[in-house]
């Protein structure tokens, strides 16, 4: 049962949160919040996503605001640092925001940059974290198979934990996995899972070694738990550059999954230079407690979006709500 649309509109607030570093080409993150009986919840598909894709994010938001969370297996989550596609001399500044994190995920294959830029960034992370640090890279599906294989060789000396979504197509991932299995570099699937019509079929394909799951794109915590119960591959729960409210949804999803082998990508609130809470859910000693943040009305007001942006989000909410109804 969906809450009434008027109930959503009554508490809906749209904010534009500034980032401390450019990420996914963005310097601000637009987010819609509303409050349900379980607490504040977040609806924040990226603005370029169509309504069909965005409706899954709304489903997740309604579940988190209106339904009790499932049983939890842990009360805090070990998380990784996230390093955007910055110049190598900015890496130390970024890592400083991720207190105690033993793992770093590094964005690579950014448009306008070269593989040499990526290698320099990864090399600097390895230097700063030392041999005991765990390093993974994320290409967001930007490479073809040949480019990805070349990149694997370029990164081989840095002892990668895995490469996330090196290619966009599932068949390409499978081919790349076959070509590079001798290198012992694991392949993780992200977009292939969350953008699929049937994530389970993708998860069962022999195309990846690790599955990256995100609560909002998959339709909520329940969907994550259900998928986790039907696959045998190890999971990483990750975020989508959300506020601490969205991060909380991811934390509860990670806590509800029976088994976690890898550190989770739920520390990205550290990339924001402002949040909707005075106590952001950021890493402390490499971990974040599973909790809902207290949303500050003062901060929501301070970072409220302009009327045109708010109207755009309200219209988007109505369209996605209609899709969920149907």
* Strand-pair partners of 14: 32
Q: Which two tokens stand for residue 89?
A: 């001399």
Angle value at C-alpha 52, between 271 and 35, nearest 5 degrees: 55
Beta strands in the chain (DSSP E): 13-23, 26-36, 39-43, 76-78, 81-83, 103-107, 134-138, 160-164, 186-189, 210-214, 235-238, 287-289
Name the one residue in this structure whose structure tokens are 């402002």.
274
Q: Do residues 268 and 82 touch, judged by C-beta distance below 8 A?
A: yes
Angle value at C-alpha 202, between 220 and 106, nearest 5 degrees: 75
Residue 234: CA count within 13 A, CB half-sphere: 13
- Which are the catalytic amino acids? 107, 214
DSSP 171-226: HHHHHHHHHHGGGT-EEEESHHHHTSSSHHHHHHSTT-SEEEEEHHHHTSHHHHHH
Q: Do residues 291 and 260 touch, judged by C-beta distance below 8 A?
A: no
Structure letter (DSSP) for residue 68: -
Closest CA to 249 of 2, 25, 36, 28: 36
């Amino acid at each position: 049962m969906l809450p009434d649309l008027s109930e959503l509109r009554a508490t809906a607030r749209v904010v534009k949160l500034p980032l401390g570093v450019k990420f996914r080409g963005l310097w601000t993150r637009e987010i819609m919040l509303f409050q349900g009986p379980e607490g504040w919840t977040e609806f924040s598909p990226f603005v370029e996503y169509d309504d069909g894709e965005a409706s899954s994010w709304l489903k997740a938001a309604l579940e988190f605001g209106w339904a009790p969370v499932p049983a939890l297996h842990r009360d805090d989550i070990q998380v990784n640092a996230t390093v955007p596609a910055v110049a190598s001399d900015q890496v130390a500044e970024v890592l400083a925001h991720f207190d105690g994190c033993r793992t770093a995920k590094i964005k690579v294959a950014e448009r306008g940059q070269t593989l040499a830029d990526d290698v320099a960034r990864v090399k600097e992370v390895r230097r700063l974290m030392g041999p005991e640090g765990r390093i993974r890279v994320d290409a967001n599906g930007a490479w073809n198979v040949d480019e990805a294989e070349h990149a694997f060789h370029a990164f081989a000396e840095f002892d990668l934990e895995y490469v996330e979504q090196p290619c966009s197509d599932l068949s390409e991932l499978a081919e790349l996995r076959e070509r590079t299995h001798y290198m012992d570099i694991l392949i993780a699937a992200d977009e292939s899972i969350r953008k699929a019509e049937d994530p389970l079929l993708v998860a069962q394909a022999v195309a990846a070694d690790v599955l990256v799951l995100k609560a909002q794109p998959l339709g909520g915590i329940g969907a994550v738990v259900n998928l986790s119960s039907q696959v045998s591959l190890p999971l990483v729960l990750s975020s989508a550059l959300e506020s601490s409210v969205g991060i909380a949804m991811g934390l509860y999803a990670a806590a509800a999954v029976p088994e976690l082998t890898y550190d989770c990508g739920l520390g990205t609130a550290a990339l924001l230079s402002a949040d909707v809470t005075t106590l952001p859910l950021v890493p402390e000693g490499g971990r974040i407690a599973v909790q809902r943040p207290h949303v500050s009305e003062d901060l929501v007001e301070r970072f409220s979006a302009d009327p045109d942006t708010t109207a755009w989000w309200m219209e988007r909410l109505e369209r996605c709500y209609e899709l969920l109804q149907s």
